[in-house]
Amino acid sequence: MKIGTNESSATRMRPSFSIAALLVTTLAATSLLLARGPSCGHDFDFHFVSWLEAARAWHSGLVYPHWASSANFGAGEPRFVFYPPASWMLGAALGTVVSWHAAPWLFTAICLFCSGLSMRHFAQDWLTPLAATAAACLYIANPYMLFIAYERTAYGELMAAILFPLVLCFAVRPQPPIPALGAAIAGVWLMNAPSGVMACYALLWIVLLRLGSERSWRAPLHIAAATATGLLLAAFYLVPAAYQERWVEIARAVGPDMRFQDSFLFHHSGEPFHDAVLHTASILACILLAYAFASISLWRDALRDRPLLWLAAFTPLILLLLLPISAPLWRHAPQLAYMQFPWRWLLVLAPVVALYLAGSIAHRARRPWLIAAVAVLCTTSIVICARPFHQYCDEEDNISAQLTLMQDGSGQEGTDEYTPHNADNAEVVQDMPQVRVLASPIAEEPDSGKAQNPEYQPDPAIDRHATITVTDWSQEHRTILVNTSVSGYAVFRLMDYPAWTVHRDGAEITKRPTRDDGLLTIPVLEGRSQIDIRWRTTPDVWIGRILSLLGLSLFVAVWYRERRARSILTA
pLDDT at 450: 63
Could you give the CA distance from residue 453 to residue 559 in angstroms, rounded to a whole number? 53
Q: What is the pLDDT of residue 408?
A: 83
- pTM (2 decimals)? 0.94
Q: Please tell me the total number of residues recorded for the chain in this structure.
A: 571
Order of all β-strands in the sheet with 527-535: 466-474, 477-484, 527-535, 500-504, 507-508
How many whole angstroms separate alpha carbon 206 and alpha carbon 13? Answer: 33
- In angstroms, what CA-CA distances link 150 with 138, 144, 392? 17, 10, 10
- On whether the CB atoms of residues 185 and 226 are closer than 8 A, the answer is yes
User: How far is CA 458 from its chain centroid?
Assistant: 40
Burial of 457 (0-12, 13-18, 19+ CB in 10 A): exposed
Answer for the pair 44, 462: CB distance below 8 angstroms, yes or no: no
CA distance 55 to 72: 19
Give pLDDT, residue 571: 60
Q: What string of pLDDT tens digits covers the 571 residues of the chain? A: 466 555 544 445 677 889 999 999 999 999 999 999 999 999 999 999 999 999 999 999 999 999 999 999 999 999 999 999 999 999 999 999 999 999 999 999 999 999 999 999 999 999 999 999 999 999 999 999 999 999 999 999 999 999 999 999 999 999 999 999 999 999 999 999 999 999 999 999 999 999 999 988 999 999 999 999 999 999 999 999 999 999 999 989 888 888 999 999 999 988 999 999 999 999 999 999 999 999 999 998 888 899 999 999 999 999 999 999 999 999 999 999 989 999 999 999 999 999 999 999 998 888 899 999 999 999 999 999 999 999 998 887 789 888 988 888 788 899 999 999 999 999 999 988 999 999 888 876 555 456 788 888 887 778 888 899 999 999 999 999 999 989 999 999 999 999 999 999 999 998 899 999 999 999 999 999 999 999 999 999 999 999 999 999 999 999 988 888 777 766 6
Cβ atoms within 10 Å of 272's Cβ, excluding its own: 8
Indicate the DSSP class of residue 454.
P
340: nearest Cα among 249, 255, 243, 238: 255
Q: What per-residue confidence (pLDDT) applies to 215?
A: 85
In whole angstroms, what is the distance from residue 238 CA to residue 188 CA? 12
What are the structural domains, with CATH classification, of the chain?
7-38+101-250+259-389 (no CATH), 433-441+459-536 (2.60.40)
Query: Using CA atoms, how far apart are residues 50 and 400, in angstroms rounded to an integer?
Result: 15
Contact, 60 vs 20, CB < 8 A? no
